[in-house]
Amino acid sequence: MIVIATIWILVLLTGGGFALDRILTSAVTRNFDDQLEYLLNSMIVSAQIDSNGEVMFDRPLGDQRFLEPYSGLYWQVSGGGFQPFPSRSLWDRYLKVDDQPHRGGAYIYNSNQFPDQQLRIVEREVKLPGSPIWWRFQVAQKRDALDAQIAALRRTLVRSFLLLGLGLVVMAGLQIWYGLLPLRRLRLAIQRLRSGEEARLEGAMPAEIAPMVEELNALVAHNDRQAEEARRHAGNLAHALKTPLTVIMNAATAQSGPLSDTVIREARAMRRHVDHHLARARAVGRRGSSHSRADVWASIDAVERAVSRLYPHLRIDTDGQKDLIARIERQDLDEMLGNLVENAAKYGGGSVFLTAGADAGFIEILIEDDGAGIPDSDRHKLFERGARLDTGKPGTGLGLAIVRDVVEIYEGTVTLEESEDLGGLLVRLRLPAAA
């Protein structure tokens, strides 16, 4: 940023300095030329024709330098084949006269005809009263004074613009340093956060950085929640596996009863616990992916075919929109629907009805069965891990707990209600719709 600012400042100052130099140089040169032209006009006004037809002056020209040899200020009159009439300051020199006429006005140019002096010459051709000849009047002055003024002007411009450029670059550097100071403070705050000295980013920040600080704090909070979830579920998994392992160890130590049956039963329970926590871990790992998309109806069809093979006498009816896309991984959607439909088949009376639709940015899937239903007071218990109201049928009580955990990860909801059409349980599953 400082390099870009420096280059841009140099470009602007160079362009501006060049333009200002042209303007001021032209003004100084024009003032110098105006003085020469004034002397030329004074010569013409005081010029007359004498009896020999040559030019004479009725009064001397006022500048004393016209009388001092090689003073640097000269005049000369020529024309009509007469010998040029020079000022005394020219002494033994003459100003060159070209053949190009200059009768329309004053003509100004530079000349290096004298080796020791660079001249600025203004000349004009006029006819004097009483003479048919075009007389050329010339006034010349050495450029030393003009060149000295232009050089002093340019030195002043260069020094001023260098000082201005240096000041602007320093100001740009200070501005960038001060503007980026909050980012350095933020880096130190993140360093303290990483070292554990602080739990979140604190302190006032400029309005431009405040949204980033809020997002960083939200990210820290999100990571803390994930870490806490990981710790909690690791503890839950350890606790869930501890009991079956204890049973197996006790049975093996006591050598009572068929050990294989105990191992198989407890191993199945352990497997369900592991599957539950692995499913949640997968969902947590995929959470936040805006690219997660699942075709709801394709998942419903797949679950319907799978459950129909497990329960041949089950009747499953489906209805709803066919083009619904949920913001969820297809594997997680299949697992949730599989648990819910299998529960409806297991505890229902033989009929299951699935309905899918869209509602205010969510995909809503209803799973109804014709079973005995569940009282309101017991519905919330079913979402607890290991909770079962009917112990006469096989299971571990983890199905609805898995569904609840996964659906919450995707910021959806699952609720238990009473089915008005079939009379049994109605499970309302709501998931975010994909954009």
Long-range contacts (CB closer than 8 Å, 24 or more residues apart) made by 148-156: 149/28, 149/32, 150/25, 150/28, 150/29, 153/21, 153/24, 153/25, 153/28, 154/21, 154/25
pLDDT at 236 (0 to 100): 67
99-112 pLDDT per residue, tens: 888 777 889 999 99
Backbone torsions φ then ψ of 342, nearest 5 degrees: -65, -40
- 3-state secondary structure at position 123: strand
Q: What's residue 197's pLDDT?
A: 76
Contact 36, 108 (CB under 8 A): yes
Q: Report which residue type is found at 77.
A: V
d(CA 372, CA 252): 41
The CATH architecture annotation of domain 294-432 reads 2-Layer Sandwich (3.30)
Q: Under a CB-based contact definition with an 8 Å cutoff, are residues 385 and 241 in contact?
A: no
- Given its phi and psi angles, is residue 203 left (phi above 0), alpha (psi -120 to 50 degrees) or beta? left
Average pLDDT over residues 301-310: 89
Percent of the chain with pLDDT over 90: 30
Threshold 0.75, pTM exceeds: no
Is the pLDDT at 387 greater than 60? The verdict is no
Give pLDDT tens digits for 252-286: 676 656 666 667 767 766 776 676 666 666 555 55
> Tell me, what's the pLDDT at 291?
61
Q: What's the chain's average pLDDT?
A: 83
- For 2-150, the fitting CATH number among 1.10.3210, 3.40.50, 3.30.450, 2.60.40 is 3.30.450
5-27 residue pLDDT tens: 999 999 999 999 999 999 999 99
Instruction: Supply 216's token pair.
Output: 């960083």
> For residues 84 and 48, what is the distance between their CA atoms, to the nearest angstrom?
15
- DSSP H helix total and E strand total for the chain: 8, 14
Domain-by-domain residue ranges, the chain?
2-150, 210-286, 294-432
With beta carbons less than 8 A apart as the criterion, state whether 102 and 123 touch: yes
pLDDT of residue 392 exceeding 50, the answer is no
Locus of tokens 């191993």: 267
Which pLDDT value is given to residue 25? 93
Q: Quick one: 227 exposed, middle or buried, by C-beta within 10 A (0-12, 13-18, 19+)?
A: exposed
